[in-house]
Every structure is written in C-alpha cells, then in structure tokens.
Amino acid sequence: MCQPDLHKLPRNIAIDGPAASGKSTIGTLVANKIGYMCLDTGIMYRAVAFQALKEGIDIADKEAVERLAERIEINIRPASSKDGRQFDVIINGGDHTWDIRTPEVNAVVSEVSVYAGVRRAMTLQQRKIAEKGRIVMIGRDIGTVVLPDAELKIYLDASVEVRAQRRYIEDLSHGKDVCLQDVIESLRHRDEIDSGRALAPLKAAEDAVVIDSDKMTVYEVVEYVMGLLKQRG
C-alpha cells in the first residue's frame, strides 16, 4: 500500500475498544509505521490497581485509591527486554511490565478505573502527553473524553470469544496457568463495568471509525488504518 503523506497526518490518533481487542498491538504497529509515539492509557489504570494491591490498599476504599493515583509515578519506556513486551512499564522506579498483567490485577482494574479521582488524575497526565502531538493514544474513553478533538478516532471491536482466545494464547505464551472459560468470564465482567460506569463509559465516539476485527488479521487491521490515514492525507 502507498504510504500516507507524513506531513498531513492527524496531530493525534485515538484508538478505543474493549479489553483484548488488539488495541495495543495495532496502535504500536501503526505508530511505528508513521513515526508516532504510542501510549496505551490502560497501562496507567493497571499501574494504579497493581500498586494498590502491592500496598495492601482496599480496592473498595475509594478515597485511598484516589490518593494513590495522585502520587503514583508511571513511566513508559522503550522495551529493554525481548520477552514479548512492547515497552517497559516503570512504577515508582521499578519494572512491573508483566506484573500489571496478572489475573489479580485483571480482577480489579475496572473497579479502580471507575473512581472519578483516578480517572481525573490519569486524564490530566494523558492530555499533557498529547499536547506535544504525534501520538497514537489507546484506551476506552480517548475519543469521547480524553481527546475529543482528535482528528482520527478508531473504535476497535471484536466478540468476547475472539478476544478471550487471543488473551488466553498470550497468557499461555508467558507460562501462565489459565482456563479459557475463566478468561471469557473475566472479559465479560470487565465489559459490563467499562460500558456501564456513569463516568466516561466505554463506547465509540460518534465520529469514530468502527473496525470489527473478528475475521481480520493484525496485518489487515493495520493496513486498513493506514488506508484511513492515506485518505485523510
């Protein structure tokens, strides 16, 4: 495919979608092709959830979790290891790239992300990062709340069964002892919380391009997005 005119690319690109829909993979590949930075904002909520569990903070203690979100230090750096990671996730100075992907974190991250104070703290960080432009930002409310003026918004979707299969294979590749049915139920639970929360619920922005990746390969989705960029260029 002919490459888009790099001088006419959107200042920021927003990619939203449910858990395990391939947002991080697609966003990273697209960002690499056009020389943009990629930020998966879900990492920030996972970091807060992980740190809360590490410090023994009761996830149900809204005020305590919100205070944690105000003081936590989260840095995303280029991958330092060839263990399958797309980047390093540094939390308060320590590398916790895979720690934020555990079943324990999976079980509470949606609850943590519901808290208004947590979302406010993370949204401020995300907007500050986006001010520089040339970024592909990934999450669940980027096109609707964080960057409502993004010139290109994509909502990447897939059925829960397909998403669970992808997450299951990923977990197995990292030596995790997982059950496919448990992964399916976990994703369904997260979908219900993410879509049903009153504050910044998961949904496609009105002007987003919705991509159903159930029957598409990663390569096909990336080429589709590159086609959208070429059209806009």
* Model confidence pLDDT, tens digit, residues 69-81: 999 999 888 789 9
Kindly state whether residue 74 falls inside one of the protein's structural domains: yes
Query: Looking at residue 4, what DSSP letter applies?
Result: P
The predicted structure's pLDDT at residue 45: 95
Q: Identify the band that residue 86 occupies on the pLDDT scale cut at 50, 70 and 90.
A: confident
The predicted structure's pLDDT at residue 1: 55
The predicted structure's pLDDT at residue 190: 87
Kindly state whether residue 97 falls inside one of the protein's structural domains: yes
Phi and psi of 16, rounded to 5°?
Answer: -115, 170
The boundaries of the domain holding residue 96 are: 11-226
Kindly state whether residue 5 falls inside one of the protein's structural domains: no
- Token pair, residue 101, equals 């992907």
Kindly state whether residue 193 falls inside one of the protein's structural domains: yes
d(CA 189, CA 209): 25
DSSP string, 196-224: H-SSS-S---TTPEEEE-TT--HHHHHHH
Q: Identify the band that residue 3 occupies on the pLDDT scale cut at 50, 70 and 90.
A: low
Q: What is the CATH number of the domain that holds 27?
A: 3.40.50.300
Kindly state whether residue 58 falls inside one of the protein's structural domains: yes
- Token pair, residue 84, equals 């399958």
**Helix (H/G/I), strand (E/B), else coil: 10:** coil
Q: How many domains does the chain have?
A: 1
Mean per-residue pLDDT for 118-132? 93
**Cα torsion at 76, 137, 132, 79 (round to 10°)?**
30
Q: How many CA atoms are closer than 13 Å to the CA of 170, on its beta-carbon side?
A: 17
Contact by Cβ (8 Å): 204, 122: no
Kindly state whether residue 26 falls inside one of the protein's structural domains: yes
* pLDDT, tens only, 210-221: 999 999 999 999
* pLDDT, tens only, 7-61: 689 999 999 999 999 999 999 999 999 999 899 999 999 999 999 999 999 999 9
Taking alpha carbons only, the member of 107, 112, 113 closest to residue 189 is: 107
| Residues forming a β-bridge with 230 | none
Kindly state whether residue 232 falls inside one of the protein's structural domains: no
Kindly state whether residue 79 falls inside one of the protein's structural domains: yes
